[in-house]
Amino acid sequence: MTALIPEWKLAGSISAVTRVKIVNMKIWVKRAPTVACAAATCSIALAISACGIGASTDNDAAGAVRAFAAAMERQDAGGAAKYTTAPGQATEALTLTLNGMNAEHLDMAVEKPVEYSDGTASFSLKSTWRWAKDRTFETTSSGTARHLSTGWKVTWEPSIVYPGLPYGGQLREIRTDATPPPTVNSRSGKTFMYLQPVNEIILDPAQTRDLPASARALARTLEPIAPLITAQVISDELKQASGKPITAVTLRDPDMQVLQSNPAAVPGVTVRKTGKLVMADRRLSSPMEPGLTNYWQAIRDATAGWQVQMLGPGLKPRKLAGEQGPAGPDVETTVDQNLQLSLGDAAVEVGQPATIMALDAGTGAILGMAQNSYAIERGINANTPYPVGSTLNPVLAGVDRVANTNQGAAETVLDRLGLGVQFTVPGLSTPTAERPGVQTVDFSPGGASYSMTNMGALGVAMARASAGQMSSVVPYVIKGVPTTVVGGKLGELDGATTGPVLAAMTQTAKTGDASDLTAAPGLKALVGTNGPQGPGWFVGLQGGKVLVIYCEGEKSGTAALQVAQKYFRIK
């Protein structure tokens, strides 16, 4: 049924509309060039329908659009796409944007839905994308819907997501980093580590039909620059990865030029370009690299910005929103680059796990740390406690004598010597669970375990006492960044404890196990093992430095002395 509405009833409310069609008690407004609502002058029935769609159901346009929006809020691309006229295309496009935006929350409100008599409807969507740190991106888009045989569907256009988004395009939220990136500097102010472009050579088992053949081919490709990355090494890593992709090696750009063929030509292999904090001097390596990288990364994270971009085929990314913080400060460390090179040369002196650390005898500053490939494979680090065996017999005997079997007193002395506490050294270690202090003094092999940092702190305490400075200090790597101490406090030293220990260390260097060492005038040392299978230790005071060496395996005490001798000859 068609009814004509008197012109006076339409005046001031719906301009240029001349006919209203009533079907099944709905009022359909025939589209005209200009439509404006003024509910105050409409009759009640006309105002409700002509100014938009009221309460929606699954059978009307507003219901379909709101179902689409609800699925988008759940970040369910397929669920949203089924309410569109092109579910396949919509699923692909919405998946790209939802994954690219990776929002913690998405709020999508339907605004101004209006149905028309030709089986179409229009609407607006207000989208608010939310991430951590109160980052938000708001946009308003518009779209249309059509009534099909299967019900109301949103007409699929990429612009529903964002105005002007082209077919094949997407939105994405990315991290942005301030420039220039911080550098990690040595104690002299020279660059020790810096950000450099690198190439990650990745082998994905799922992308090759013959994994052993790919492993062999990749090893042959890498041989000119990385001969240690053999087919067996790659196969072992693949086995440990349980079917997941592995990074066989990471190469700098100049390294890639040495290769005679492209690794990406091997089935299953891709080359991913990224950035990595690397040593400025390629001759250097250190177990401190992860700790320094973690601290450097924390600065990058704190100053990182963000950006929402629109991407499209053949188009440059277009910034839609975002903020960027200032560049972060450089990381100033206590590392001595020349000494670090000497430590590395000393660590490779023996064919078993060996790790060596040097500290400034007066301040506790860590000057360098190195280890050989065997220690790397074993995962030896500065934070893990290892059995000291007989190494600390003079120290523990002195503590027991001063404490006079009083456990509380013994714990206090051990803490002050740097033994009964746990250190978290920014730039060297990462936080670990609290380790309780030593509860008893046990002289049997394996009765006490300490980390290399503990042993270093002990060495510094002895060196300071030898110089008349009767207080212990905390080891550190990054200038101005304090080390966290858990389980007790360092502090005042007692000559009744340090005197006998220093005398024993002098005797060990003159006539004891360290007496064969040369080129080490004034040496004071603690040497010992935890039995025939080790581990073996060396703690030496010489030339204003404290040297801590930890070795594992048979005759590890002898190995520790070999590493020490190599150091004293080349330092």
d(CA 395, CA 442): 12
61-176: CATH topology is Nuclear Transport Factor 2; Chain: A, (3.10.450)
337-570: CATH topology is Beta-lactamase (3.40.710)
CATH number given to 191-279: 3.90.1310.10
Helix runs in 348-490, H state only: 373-378, 393-403, 407-416, 452-466
Q: Which pLDDT score, from 0 to 100, does residue 58 have?
A: 54
Structural contact between residues 420 and 385, judged by C-beta atoms closer than 8 angstroms? no
Task: CATH 3.10.450.100 in the chain: give the residue spans.
Answer: 61-176
d(CA 49, CA 24): 13
Q: Which pLDDT score, from 0 to 100, does residue 61 have?
A: 94
Residue 20: enclosing H or E segment and its boundaries?
strand 20-23
Task: CATH 3.90.1310.10 in the chain: give the residue spans.
Answer: 191-279
* Burial class of 131 by CB neighbour count within 10 A (0 to 12, 13 to 18, 19+): middle
Q: Which pLDDT score, from 0 to 100, does residue 571 have?
A: 84
The SS3 assignment for 565 reads helix
Distance between alpha carbon 49 and the CA centroid of its chain, in Å?
55
Q: Which pLDDT score, from 0 to 100, does residue 325 have?
A: 85
Ranges of the chain whose pLDDT falls below 70: 1-58, 430-447
Closest CA to 521 of 533, 509, 511: 509
